[in-house]
Each structure stands twice: as structure tokens, then as C-alpha cells.
């Protein structure tokens, strides 16, 4: 191959390699970046205003009193949990839109969540619970026919299985015998003769919806969680343009051969 051919090809080859490396670096930086400004990972309080960094939506701020009522405060729970809204017994601890506060007022207090609506109320005689040494908390049956669904600083979140149907009880770390029309998932198992509709996520009679086909009693039909990486931009990992250019250059090399003086 003539030297002038190398002189033309090599700059293109090196430019392609640099573009691929830059795209990989940019993708890594984007994945690590969190749009939360100066708010630390464990959150912060400004009076009763709580601010924290959500891994999917970025900076979240709201006033604990506005959301959870006059008894709410914003405070440091501990060094592991960070900052959170704290609410006394009898106050809301979970809103219909999913915002959550940590109950306070004694070792037995916890957040009793209405399985039908998702709203929670700080209630006595639920705790304490035991946090896992590592990994996520796994649902477990507690006293009084309760299913404990979370544990933070020994304060549990709990669901009363009987709220899902008169015959529903907690067994094998799940509410079983869930009644028709009640919500269902891997921990709320439909009663015999019912199945979990994957669209409505409620226990239904077989054939009540066309989407019932193929799902057994207690099955949820859940296929997975949404990817939180979002859309890729040009130059991020997975962008094939630099690689295509590199392959084209290599094809030219092999097409015209390596013989000296050609």
C-alpha cells in the first residue's frame, strides 16, 4: 500500500477511536451526575421544609406540615437514614400520591397503610421491626394478622390483611385469600377461584377481562420495571456512528491490500 494511502486513512482511524472514547466518558459522567445542586445525598431540612435527591426525578422539596399536618416536623432520623418528615401517632404517614413520613412516638408506633387506597396513618402496636443488616427489607408476617412491608429505624410500614377480605390472613409472608376487587401482587394473593388481573392489579373472576388469559391465581402479570437511564444522546454508549466509520476504514484497508508498492 502506498504511503499516501496511509496518510489519508490513519487520521480518520484515530478520529474514530477518539470519538468512541469520548462517547464512553460522556456516558459515564451523565450516569453519575445527579441534578440536585447542593442538596446532600441524605437530604436536608430548612425549618419544616424537606429536600432530598430522588434517583429518578432529581431534587424533591416539600413542606412537611403542608403535606402531613400540623404535628409534622423535619429532622435528622439517624446517620443511616438521613433527614425525613416525622409525624406523631394519629397523623397521616403516607399520602395518596405516595409521599411518606416516618412515625414517631414510641417503640410500638408504625405506619398502617390502607391496602385499598394507599393512604397511611401512624398507629400504635405495630412495631418495632428489625432492619436487615444488608439488602432490602423483605415482607414478613407480624402480630395481629399484619404484613410488615418496610422497616426504617425500627419503625414499620404495615398492611392489615383483613382489609383485603374477611377471610384474608397473613401466611408465608403474604396476605392470602384476598377477596374479589381487592388489590393483588406477589404479596397479596387472590383467593381460590380468583386470579390477579394484570391490567387492573385486582383479584377478578376468570374471564372478567380479556387480559386475564395466561395468569394463574395470585400471579401479577408484571413484566419488569422501567429503565431509569432515559434516552441516549449522540456520543453516549450505544451510539454506533464512530464504530461504523472505523469499520468502513478497515474495509478500505482490506479492500486495497497491504502489498508494498501497490
Return the higher-pLDDT residue of 15 and 80. Answer: 80
From CA 244, how far away is CA 26, in angstroms rounded? 19
Average pLDDT over residues 45-63: 91
- pLDDT over threshold 80, residue 251: no
- pLDDT over threshold 50, residue 54: yes
Given pLDDT bands bounded at 50, 70 and 90, which one contains residue 57?
A: confident
Specify the pLDDT at position 255.
57
- pLDDT over threshold 70, residue 183: yes
Lowest mean pLDDT among 23-37, 117-131, 208-222: 208-222
Given pLDDT bands bounded at 50, 70 and 90, which one contains residue 38?
A: confident
Specify the pLDDT at position 226.
31
Return the higher-pLDDT residue of 114 and 211. Answer: 114
Q: Average per-residue pLDDT in the chain?
A: 77
From CA 47, how far away is CA 6, in angstroms rounded? 68
Given pLDDT bands bounded at 50, 70 and 90, which one contains residue 106?
A: confident
Lowest mean pLDDT among 5-9, 44-48, 134-138, 199-203: 5-9
Average pLDDT over residues 44-50: 97
Sequence spans of domains, the chain: 44-175
Specify the pLDDT at position 175.
97
- pLDDT over threshold 70, residue 161: yes
Question: Do 91 and 121 contact (CB within 8 A), yes or no?
Answer: yes
Say if pTM beats, i.e. exceeds, 0.85. Answer: no
Return the higher-pLDDT residue of 113 and 211. Answer: 113
From CA 161, how far away is CA 144, in angstroms rounded? 9
From CA 200, how far away is CA 180, in angstroms rounded? 12
| Nearest CA-CA partner of 123 in 98, 152, 99, 94 | 94
Question: What are the pLDDT digits (tens) for 71-91?
Answer: 999 999 999 999 999 999 999
Lowest mean pLDDT among 8-17, 42-51, 69-78: 8-17
Average pLDDT over residues 207-232: 39
What percentage of the chain reaches a pLDDT higher than 90?
55
Amino acid at each position: 500500500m502506498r504511503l499516501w494511502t496511509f496518510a489519508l486513512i490513519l487520521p480518520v482511524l484515530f478520529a474514530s477511536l477518539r470519538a468512541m472514547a469520548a462517547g464512553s466518558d460522556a456516558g459515564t459522567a451523565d450516569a453519575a451526575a445527579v441534578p440536585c445542586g447542593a442538596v446532600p445525598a441524605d437530604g436536608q431540612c430548612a425549618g419544616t421544609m424537606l429536600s432530598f435527591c430522588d434517583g429518578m426525578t432529581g431534587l424533591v422539596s416539600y413542606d412537611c406540615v403542608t403535606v402531613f399536618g400540623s404535628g409534622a416536623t423535619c429532622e435528622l432520623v439517624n446517620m443511616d437514614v438521613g433527614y425525613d418528615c416525622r409525624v406523631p401517632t394519629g397523623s397521616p404517614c403516607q399520602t395518596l400520591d405516595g409521599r411518606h413520613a416516618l412515625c414517631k412516638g414510641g417503640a410500638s408506633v408504625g405506619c398502617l397503610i390502607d391496602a385499598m387506597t394507599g393512604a397511611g396513618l401512624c398507629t400504635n402496636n405495630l412495631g418495632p421491626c428489625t432492619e436487615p443488616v444488608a439488602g432490602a427489607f423483605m415482607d414478613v408476617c407480624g402480630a395481629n394478622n399484619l404484613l410488615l412491608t418496610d422497616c426504617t429505624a425500627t419503625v414499620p410500614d404495615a398492611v392489615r390483611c383483613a382489609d383485603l377480605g374477611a377471610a384474608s390472613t397473613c401466611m408465608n409472608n403474604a396476605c392470602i385469600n384476598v377477596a374479589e376487587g381487592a388489590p393483588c401482587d406477589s404479596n397479596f394473593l387472590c383467593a381460590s377461584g380468583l386470579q390477579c388481573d394484570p391490567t387492573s392489579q385486582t383479584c377478578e373472576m376468570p374471564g372478567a377481562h380479556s387480559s386475564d388469559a395466561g395468569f394463574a391465581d395470585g400471579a401479577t402479570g408484571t413484566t419488569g420495571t422501567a429503565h431509569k437511564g432515559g434516552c441516549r444522546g449522540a456520543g453516549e454508549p450505544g451510539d454506533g456512528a464512530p464504530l461504523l466509520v472505523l469499520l468502513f476504514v478497515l474495509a478500505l484497508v482490506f479492500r486495497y491490500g497491504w502489498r508494498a508498492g501497490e
